[in-house]
Amino acid sequence: MKYYSTNNPQHIVSFQEAVLNGLAPDGGLYMPQTIPSLSPDFIASLPSFSKSEIAFTVARPFVDEAISDTDLMKIAEETVAFDFPLISLNPHVHILELFHGPTLAFKDVGARFTARILQHISQQHQKRITVLVATSGDTGSAVAHGFYETNGIDVVILYPKGKVSVMQEKQFATLGKNIHAIAVDGTFDDCQRMVKSAFQDNDLRQTMFLTSANSINIARLLPQSFYYFFAWAALPTKQEVVFSVPSGNFGNLTAGVFAKKMGLPIHGFIAATNSNDVVPQYLETKQFSPRPSVQTISNAMDVGNPSNFARLLELYQNSWDAMTKDITGYSFTDEETQHAMQQVYHTKNYLLDPHGAVAWLGLTRYLKDHPQAQGISFETAHPCKFTEVVEASLHIAPPPHPSLQALLDKPVQSISCPTNFQNLKKILQNLIAR
């Protein structure tokens, strides 16, 4: 499989080059030249396969021969070595829990896969790699733990100061060693812009081997398609299945479109956002108008210019009509999100985190007009990662989790940085000099 840049289809690289580069030199995102089709027999037999067998089969066509079947199976096994339970609240409404990994968030899947792929490449080529990533919340912790103490790899995480939850910050900014946290005096969009500037800076590219573990990196995005297959395998009935995906940078939903185009018979997707609603607005008006992000209680989705929208356009050949046949978009306020958390807790005895509440709202809105559909809503993070929001919304404390309790007394180790790229460049150059 070869990969091309969304900004230049003539720029072609291998899988390993796409993973190592993260972002194409022209600022585009890498896309596979073709979307492979999986066998109908494989799709029909999904319930008979293990999670690692499913992950291996889905990933194999995208990964070049430099990674053997044996190595890729080991990577797949380690990537999905935890549960993905499907909780049925009624015959038509299901929740897929994606928070049973080491950092209690769905991004553990992509981060663990990327870390193991990059470690494999680093060992093959004997190169020290610097992973540069922007986070609005859960990406930072998933990447930090995925790469912690990995030989040959440094991780630099940019996050908007004061705009991630206390627990999210503790998960990635207390580790030290090869994990370096940078608190940016701005928004997630500022962090993402600075990361992109670093990838396009010739001085940095010549002195350090930079790559990314955001969903701009194809190795982070592709494995997120695994759990669409896991959910399908667990569904009791499979008629008109729709997935409601809480969306910020749109990597998760884009991975779902990959799964559909590979042959999983998904009827459609719900792009559920908070007040950062540029994609739902596009789906309604045909106009894509990025703007500065606004802060919400579902902070991991506070993205005003989602990178993966470029990939969605490629998947639908820039056709608004084709995209809107598959994807329905809704946005919700903080007040609506809190109300959903209250409603689901009091009527279903189920505790949603604020991101899962946005997905739930999207699904319930959709099912009003499509009552025959089978709906799967993604619960992407454990509620205990958002204690402040849960307590303010429900007046109860979410049950503590041992892995988070252990972090409470650990000091945050982060470097403050203005939104000026030159400041980030100096920090990175000092890291090289150490």
Length of the chain: 434
Residue 51: is it exposed, middle or buried by C-beta count within 10 angstroms (0-12/13-18/19+)? buried
Contact of 26 with 5, CB cutoff 8 Å: yes
Active-site position among 51, 107, 163, 196: 107
107 is catalytic: yes
User: Could you identify the residue written with the tokens 């297959």?
Assistant: 229
In angstroms, rounded to a whole number, what is the distance separating the alpha carbons of residues 26 and 21?
11
Residue 124: is it exposed, middle or buried by C-beta count within 10 angstroms (0-12/13-18/19+)? exposed
In angstroms, rounded to a whole number, what is the distance separating the alpha carbons of residues 77 and 36?
22
Measured distance between the N- and C-terminal CA atoms of the chain, rounded to whole angstroms: 37
Query: Pairing between strand 374-379 and 414-417?
Result: unpaired
Q: What is the largest CA-CA distance in the chain?
A: 61
* Residues recognised as catalytic: 107
